[in-house]
Amino acid sequence: MSSNNELESGSSLAEDAWAVPSIAAAAVASNDQTTTNQSSSIRNNKSSTVDEAWAKIAALRSKLAADVITDPASNDNNNPFNFPSFISPYEQPNLSAQPNQSYKGMSIPLIYCDQTASQRPIASIENYLQSTSMPCHANTHTNITYTGSQSTAFVSEARQIVGECTGARITGKASLDSVIFGGNGVTGVVAILVDLLNLKGIVNSSAAANGSAGDTRPVVFAGPHEHHSNLLPWRESGCEVVPVPECANGTVDLNELERLLQLPQYSSASGRLRMGAFSAVSNVTGLIADVDAIAIILHRHGALAFFDYASGAPYVKMNMNPNPIQFASHAKEEGEVVDASKDAIYFSPHKCFGGTSTPGVLVVKKRLISQTNPPAVSGGGTVFYVTNQDHRFLSNRIERYEGGTPDGIGIQRCGLALLAGRRIAKEYEQIASSIDGSGGNVEKNKCPPKTLLEYECSTYDRVVAELKKHAPNLIMLGSEHDNVHDSSSSGNCVGRHLPIFSFLIRCGKRFLHYNYVCAVLNDLFGIQSRGGCQCAGPYSQRLLGMTKIVNGNEVSNQANRSIERALLRSDHPCELLRPGYTRLSLPFKGIREEEVDYVIRALIWVSKNGWVLLPQYRCDHRTGEWRHWSRCGKPLGKSERRWLSHYDILAPSTNHLGKLGSNSTQSDEVQASQDRLDLAMKNAEAILELSKRDPRFIAEVEKMNKADGMLGDASDVDDTLEALRWYVYQREAAPSLRDGLDEMPETFDDDKLMGGISVRMDGKRIINDNVEMEVDEVHANEEEKKEADVTMLLNSSMEGLLSFKEGDHAGEASFDEIKAGFEDGELSEACEVFHKGRDEWLVIEDFIRGCEDGDSDSSTASRKRDISTMFGSTNLPLQAAASSVPSQQVVNIPEAATKREKKKPSRDSSQWGQCSVPHITPADAAAADPSTSPNGNVDSNTDDVAALKAATAATKPTGKESNKGKKKKGKLKPPPKMMRAITQAMIQWDMIQDGDRLLLGLSGGKDSLSLLHCLLEFQRKLPIKFDIEVCTIDPMTPSFDPSPLIPYVEGLGLKYHYIRDDIVERANTAGKDGKTVSSLCAFCARMKRGNLYTCARKNNCNKLVLAQHLDDCAESFLMSVMHNGFIRTMKANYQINAGDVSVIRPLVYCRENLMTEFAKANNLPVINENCPACFEEPKERARVKKLLAREETLYPNLYDHIRRALIPVMHDDSTSIMRSYTEAAIAKSRKVSPKQKKTAPQSQDVMMLDNSAAPSSSNNNQADATPSISLASASEEELIAELARRRAEKYKMAGAMKRLPDDNTAEGTIEDSTGQMCSLNGGDGMIPCRELME
């Protein structure tokens, strides 16, 4: 930046851009000198042949693509031009047929084709900002300082550039328009437009005057191609939205628009504010609207004209104030003033080339901006003067609606992006006009299009023609209209399409799922596309044949409504059913010519062969995602993910923008680019052949059945939605692969099409009511089946006993007995009851729910069993217990009710507990001194507890509370499902006995808080007596403050031990040689566990209660298997090494969602913890959790099976036993010297008579004198005792850790003799497994 710039005006972006070729080359040239020289020769050449012109256009396009920021430049010989690439989930095929070739991840080119959603940054703009603007960047709204003045000047200049590029008049006495920046794209600025028009105020005034919104509300005429950002804000403002249909060629029906404007309720005589909101370009099909003709019609009838250029700004010319002379032919009568101006236009600069991370832009007529109505978003920068009593807003129209600190860099980037687009269009026109036609031999159809807009439209025509010829089963939406327009005069290409392609691929009777197509394009070819409805639901549903015309209005058909209802279901996920398509873009700016051809070849390949790869992909029914089988757990692979947290401000700075200089020619770069694309196609063909010959995936998907269907289970409702399923499942492709077919049968037969989407092979909608009739029939059949089930159940209930089974156990009992057994935990969720009416087995929970829904009139109450029998020593086997109960008839069941228990509204987990503490009043005993009161005792190893209690006392409510209210405190009733699971765990693992003193480790999380209330419930109900105390370890970190638990626990009347221990501070010096510990997680866990053991001993508590649940156990099991090769998980009930404290986990059979729902429903004071050592997400446990969640969508009973499989692993002795087996097997392969074999002790056939632990090496002589007997003559009890002795001798792993010394330091901890190590997050950091699994 020049130091001679005047402070008042600042350095001008526009002056620098046009004075030197640096910004002229901003979107045209790369950084090397060769490119600059070529660019200059292109601009200066005024006479060229057709071939030369096409070559220059290709060179210009390559320069723009090279300007896109990719990976840091490198000297890779295999990629000298630094083309972007990434690693595919597929292995690199052996193209050379060399047997020793290594099969590693396949590198594929990255072809970005999602420009309609967002463009990518370019080096020339970012370098310009980095060198010109960022060195003096500051907040705006001041001209006092140098940086503030310069930043304000940059923003003001960018606003002027926007005005120039949109034809707006924003300066001078003749200014008509204002440019406003704000929000996130069009969504944000449309909200500003609604605000500045005061539409909500007008709607409210209309409602107050008429008693209802009535006919005086503002009216918005919306086009047929609108996306949600130009539709939903108008709906939510309270205006009446009137849709304008499309005509036969797909564009806006101008005749219908004029007819609607003349209706009495919408005419100018109605006195209503009328507006038109239309898209200039469809973001789905790229169809260009005639915005000038629409504006003329709207203004002719006194309505405002608003236009959305979100998808059009990168391509078409925007003009707020076109010359009215050129539209004189549109006048309907002599003397009519034709007004084609726009009252407002808005667009998203982040869709423009180089416009990444920019705010939305609104250009609006000044007369529409109210200077009296306050803005909806007020604050700094919007006010003129503020006092204690009142404030005044600014009269400046721009500052009034641009409150807060503006995105200065984003606004400047917006201006540069528009400058670059204008410069590129001008450069193209110069090349196209340089053709020398003086010889008369130039053929017009071989010449390049005259304008860049025409070139973009010709790209669409060429691509569609190629696909229709070579990929007949690829259905290009919106291309069924043969719109031939002669745009030579106006050049606006109205009715033509920009290179935005939305398509479906037909496969058999259905379609390939759009997300699957996106996945294949990404994994095999590196093409970045997008799947869904592209935020244009109404237009998309019309294109997909999901609407119908009723009384002249377009409404959703039955299939559409049924899909919406299915998506709203919360009990069964079916996100895959959401209709949509695949979309990609091929603009001139940012993608090479050879890459366009590559994308066409890839689309043809996927259309023909995409179905072959279906068995190698897995779909997630909850999210609708499809992923390659090797990437289900890690979508980005093992090393592809990049991390923001790896940033180091102290690391050496590098400039990664731009490319390395190269002496290669343009032809060398084009050839290298073509070679990499050809290699990708060869790899795809090789993978295709391997996939056809590999039977593994085919056999796997053939095993899939109804349980792997849309809803992830085998419920009857799956049949209801099957009629709506429009996509192909993996198992449907298996037979064709087995038979070696080249395509799925019936792919090209429109009459065989099934599902909710009705689109013919030519892209036209199918007017078909078969789907609606089918769905209606399914619903009717379902209701008839329900009635029949009730009738059959009534008949069967008179027969007395019902059969049930659980695993290997079976029996018969009455309905009341089965229900009581299920509630008390004797019957688990895996139990099934035989339904005589349906002649099938039903899950017990579904069976009981169905009976209870229809049992509202029954006079027979369910009997509650005595829970004391569960904890006795004389429990009968399940079958015997059931058979010993007298026979009893099942209660009569009336008509099945369809209503379900209403769920409480869920709360954001971040708000848990924020309103809980003030409502908890401590018991009377809590008011006493903690050291003398048996209740409310708070222990601490510091002197700060008094301060804590004083701080929390401020949150306690004043006033007295009735004894009745105090009695109810803490008596939250946990859900029966949770209580059943805990009861079952307590019974099977003998967790609680009479006289136990329990110490609950209360971290403040949802799990420990839920367990606290479950224990209180058991304490009230069980006949046995046990005490409960609570302990919380406060690590004294700012990110975790559990002190709000103090009044909460005291309010429950429990003895509370609150221990403060600065663990993080101690970790800084507790490592080797006084340094920081290698693993903060391991150190913190060890210290917390030691504090809990010490607290338990001091207070004579014999059992420590921890709140790990089934999900934790399953994740720990998988982590141990995958990372350490050992079968291990958390124990349900074990004794620590010291032998004085046992650790129990009552939640080992409970799913995590049970505690989540209970905590939300009862507003438990959950403490949010942000561990300073846990900043990198997702950690390994989170990744394993996601892996299990995905598998659960395919196998709903996954966790039931895992629970049953983990039962032996949860046993205290399982680790020692399996470790001994492992060592015994490994020892056989070890080399042992003959001398060692000869001197090995031969005591394996004898055993010690006493049951004490194995003697140490120091008293072997005493051990030899101990009487012994042979194993053959030993009793069973003696054999068990001997096995335990030998395990303890070699693999002493009975408990957690040795008791910590009194000084509570890390010294003196016991070493794990097995040497098993675990990784915290799959990385290099290792800690002993014992510390994670205990």
Percent composition of the chain: helix, strand, coil (DSSP 3-state, to 5): 40, 10, 45
Q: What is the pLDDT of residue 1142?
A: 94
The segments of the chain whose pLDDT lies below 50 read: 1-45, 100-102, 213, 439, 484, 486-489, 660-661, 706-707, 711-717, 768-799, 855-970, 1172-1178, 1240-1243, 1250-1266, 1293-1314, 1318-1325, 1329, 1332-1334
CA–CA distance, 1086 with 163 (Å, rounded to integer): 65
Burial class for 192, CB neighbours closer than 10 Å (0-12, 13-18, 19+) = buried
H helices within 552-649, ranges in order?
558-567, 593-609
Place of tokens 């663990």: 1063
Q: Select from 102, 103, 106 the least CA-distant residue to 88.
A: 106
Q: What is the pLDDT of residue 111?
A: 95
CB 589 within 8 A of CB 353: yes
Predicted structure pTM score: 0.62
Q: What is the pLDDT of residue 223?
A: 95
Question: For 1043-1069, how does the pLDDT look when each residue is reduced to its tens digit (9 = 90+)?
Answer: 889 999 988 989 999 999 888 788 878
Q: Select from 1267, 1150, 1234 the least CA-distant residue to 1199.
A: 1150
Residue 958: CB atoms within 10 A of its CB come to 4
Q: What is the pLDDT of residue 134?
A: 93
CA–CA distance, 204 with 213 (Å, rounded to integer): 7
Peptide bond into 1178 cis (omega under 30): yes
CB 986 within 8 A of CB 954: no
Angstrom CA distances, 1226 to 959, 1106, 1219, 1220, stand at 71, 35, 11, 10
CA–CA distance, 174 with 105 (Å, rounded to integer): 63
Q: What is the pLDDT of residue 73?
A: 53
Q: What is the pLDDT of residue 44?
A: 45
CA–CA distance, 240 with 219 (Å, rounded to integer): 5
Sequence-separated (6 or more) residues with CB below 8 Å from residue 539: 224, 225, 226, 227, 282, 284
CB 236 within 8 A of CB 292: no
Sequence-separated (6 or more) residues with CB below 8 Å from residue 963: none
What are the E-state strand segments in 23-169? 85-91, 105-109, 111-112
CA–CA distance, 632 with 938 (Å, rounded to integer): 48
Angstrom CA distances, 443 to 50, 51, 268, 440, 487, stand at 9, 12, 53, 8, 18
CA pseudo-torsion sign 498, 499, 500, 505: positive
Bridge-partner residues for 759, per DSSP? 765
Q: What is the largest CA-CA distance in the chain?
A: 128
Q: What is the pLDDT of residue 954?
A: 41
Bridge-partner residues for 1107, per DSSP? none
Angstrom CA distances, 1136 to 824, 1198, 1215, 1309, stand at 30, 31, 14, 13
Q: Which helix (H) or strand (E) holds 1322?
A: none
Q: How many residues in the chain?
A: 1334
